[in-house]
Chains A and B, each alone.
Chain A
Amino acid sequence: MREVAVVGIGLTDFGEKWDTSFRDLCVEAGAKAIEDAGMDGDQIQEMFVGNMSGGRFVLQEHIGALIADYAGLATNHIPSTRTEAACASGGLAFRQAVSCIASGTQDIVIAAGVEKMTDVSGGETTDALAGAADREWEGMYGVTFPALYAMIAVDYMNKYGLTREQLAEVAVKNHYNGARNPIAQYKKEITVDAVMRSTLVADPLRLLDCSPVTDGAAAVILCSLEKAKEFTDCPVKVIASTQATDTIALHDRRDISTLDATVAAADRAFKMAKIDRKDIDLVEVHDCFTIAELCAIEDMGFCKKGEAGKLTEEGWTALGGKLPVNTSGGLKSCGHPVGATGIKQVCEVVAQLRGEAGKRQIDGAETGMTHNVGGTGATVVTNIFRRV
């Protein structure tokens, strides 16, 4: 297998983008990534686009060709493939691009992710997102996506004595980081008190425990490591890219508050990268709800089960902490355009490893990791990156 590097990153602003269409969002991110790599669009040989639900949100399928077309690459007739695994759709696009280069199929590939969620009503969004779980045996009973994570939280609190305030600390920390990220949807700091007073969505989760509904896109350019020096002085090497599955329904899991797919994907990633947990300088995890960040940190093996709440309270995961988690602001504050999130996480880690993260910069960061979840944990993608 050939070694793979990221040589370009591009992001749109995240938020409610009334004036920008689905295709324009994705093309904007892609053009920025190509610009960042200092290459010509004609050098791109293949494209992968992560998208959860163009069909529900903008009534558009056939996303691969649409984006290739509007990016001006359909005239070159490059292969373009849409990947889907609910909120891990972007993660899949990234991993497919890595495999495509590692296998020698192509030399230069773009992996993008896009979601336009605000063109439909809130109720429709909630219903579309419920499709990330088991529609027939979970969604059918009126169970929403936040309610599924709420059931994880109730199980977790019962087993490990996590407090409601500790859960709030996750959101407070992520909003602090997001306030320092120019593309974030909610660039404002919040307090534990504000979280505790926000509206209940699904007990015990409140509005400020939830990732928001977001429009946005992200893109990265990958190429073989040997070619990378042609484009940049600071290529970032992909030292692991792994994916795992678990049961589609939460009720069929071995343990309600452990994401076994996270455990499997992370174990494979550390094995593939041949490094230890302690070598990771920062990690972007899938905090679609506050409880999800705590599960992620534990299930990836950074601390023992049940400890993450206390560690968060003590500042372990903050910008200056031992393991900074979600320096971008995470899904919570930066926003969660579901299909784009997996790629956006890669953009953040690459920016950090290049030393370009501005007010959020982790000094001397060399190795970073991303963790992207589909549904309540039925798909997980993890990647590890190292500065060359």
Chain B
Amino acid sequence: MSVPRFWRKQHSRYNLTGTKCETCGKYFFPPRSLCPTCRREGKIVEHNFKGTGKVVTFSIVRTASEEYDLQTPFAVAIIELDEGTRMTAQVICDIDKIHIGMPVKSTFRKITADGESGVIVYGTKFVPA
């Protein structure tokens, strides 16, 4: 991913900052700038998520793209945050122990790197809570 493309959303990725629609009360992570329910009537504000939630479903990636090849096997999951919104992320844990409903909390980690001396991409991963 290019540097500007990553940098643009760095704030969200580093701090788990999403958005909230004040009209209907829904939370969004990944952030949305338009509420799909209220559309133009929605009032979008920034929201910092607590970072706690549970595993909704998961998989273990064994065959990855070149960028993530060195990390295999790794666990990925759809996490439901306590605020009710869902997101996709890696879970750092014993890959044999991950299960549906497992409580997790967010942590700041390296996601990938652009080659040996390229930009390092950081972001949110989850660990067992």
Q: Which chain A residues lie closer than 8 Å to B123 at the CB level?
A: 140-141
Given A126-B63, A136-B30: A142 touches B74 (CB 8 Å cut-off): yes
Residues A142 and B71 in contact, CB atoms below 8 Å apart: yes
Given A200-B60, A251-B87: A151 touches B76 (CB 8 Å cut-off): yes
Q: Which of B63, B66, B68 is the most central at the interface, judged by chain A CB atoms within 10 Å of its CB?
A: B63
Residues A256 and B69 in contact, CB atoms below 8 Å apart: no
Residues B59 and A147 in contact, CB atoms below 8 Å apart: yes
Closest-by-CB residue of B relative to A122 is B63
For residue A3, CB closer than 8 A to chain B, the reply is no
For residue A75, CB closer than 8 A to chain B, the reply is no
Q: Which of B30, B65, B89 makes the CB contact (< 8 A) with A144?
A: B65
Closest-by-CB residue of A relative to B101 is A158
Inter-chain CA distance A386–B29, complex, in Å, is: 45
Given A137-B87, A140-B1, A155-B57: A200 touches B62 (CB 8 Å cut-off): yes
Given A143-B76, A143-B88: A201 touches B56 (CB 8 Å cut-off): no
Given A203-B60, A256-B56: A151 touches B78 (CB 8 Å cut-off): yes
Digit string of B77-117 for contact with A (CB within 8 Å is 1, else 0)? 11000000011111000000000100000000001100000
Given A147-B61, A200-B60, A256-B78: A137 touches B66 (CB 8 Å cut-off): no
A362 to chain B, nearest CB (A): 35
Residues A140 and B60 in contact, CB atoms below 8 Å apart: no
A210 to chain B, nearest CB (A): 9
CB contacts under 8 Å to B, within A103-151, are: 121-124, 126-127, 130, 134, 136-138, 140-144, 146-148, 150-151
CB contacts under 8 Å to B, within A32-85, are: none
For residue A26, CB closer than 8 A to chain B, the reply is no
Q: Which of A137, A151, A152 makes the CB contact (< 8 A) with B77?
A: A151
Residues A141 and B76 in contact, CB atoms below 8 Å apart: yes
Closest-by-CB residue of B relative to A156 is B57
Digit string of B109-129 for contact with A (CB within 8 Å is 1, else 0)? 001100000000001010000
Q: Which chain A residues lie closer than 8 Å to B5 at the CB level?
A: 136
Q: Which chain A residues lie closer than 8 Å to B57 at the CB level?
A: 151-152, 154-155, 158, 256
Inter-chain CA distance A126–B61, complex, in Å, is: 12
Q: Which of A126, A151, A251 makes the CB contact (< 8 A) with B59?
A: A151
Given A130-B65, A151-B78: A137 touches B60 (CB 8 Å cut-off): no
Q: Which chain B residues lie closer than 8 Å to A285 at the CB level?
A: none
Residues A150 and B56 in contact, CB atoms below 8 Å apart: no
How many chain B residues touch A (Cβ–Cβ < 8 Å)? Answer: 33
Residues B89 and A201 in contact, CB atoms below 8 Å apart: no
Q: Which chain B residues lie closer than 8 Å to A384 at the CB level?
A: none
Residues A121 and B90 in contact, CB atoms below 8 Å apart: no
Q: Which chain A residues lie closer than 8 Å to B125 at the CB level?
A: 141
Q: Which chain A residues lie closer than 8 Å to B56 at the CB level?
A: 155, 251, 256
Q: Which chain B residues lie closer than 8 Å to A205 at the CB level?
A: 59
Inter-chain CA distance A204–B65, complex, in Å, is: 18
Inter-chain CA distance A233–B58, complex, in Å, is: 52
B65 to chain A, nearest CB (A): 4
Inter-chain CA distance A283–B42, complex, in Å, is: 42
Residues B60 and A144 in contact, CB atoms below 8 Å apart: no
For residue A252, CB closer than 8 A to chain B, the reply is yes
Residues B67 and A127 in contact, CB atoms below 8 Å apart: yes
Q: Which chain A residues lie closer than 8 Å to B39 at the CB level?
A: none
B24 to chain A, nearest CB (A): 16
Q: Which chain B residues lie closer than 8 Å to A155 at the CB level?
A: 56-57, 100
Residues B86 and A202 in contact, CB atoms below 8 Å apart: no
Given A151-B58, A249-B88: A142 touches B64 (CB 8 Å cut-off): yes
CB contacts under 8 Å to A, within B1-43, are: 1, 5, 9, 30
Q: Which of B63, B65, B88 makes the CB contact (< 8 A) with A250?
A: B88
Inter-chain CA distance A203–B64, complex, in Å, is: 13
Inter-chain CA distance A122–B71, complex, in Å, is: 17
Residues B59 and A142 in contact, CB atoms below 8 Å apart: no
Given contacts A127-B65, A138-B88, A144-B63, 4 further A-B contacts (CB under 8 A): A123-B66, A136-B9, A202-B60, A203-B59
Question: 4 tightest A-B contacts by CB?
Answer: A123-B66, A150-B59, A142-B68, A127-B65
In the complex, 15 of the A-B residue pairs with CB atoms within 8 angstroms, ordered by the A residue number, are A122-B63, A123-B66, A126-B63, A126-B64, A137-B30, A137-B87, A141-B123, A142-B112, A147-B61, A154-B57, A199-B63, A202-B63, A204-B59, A249-B30, A256-B57
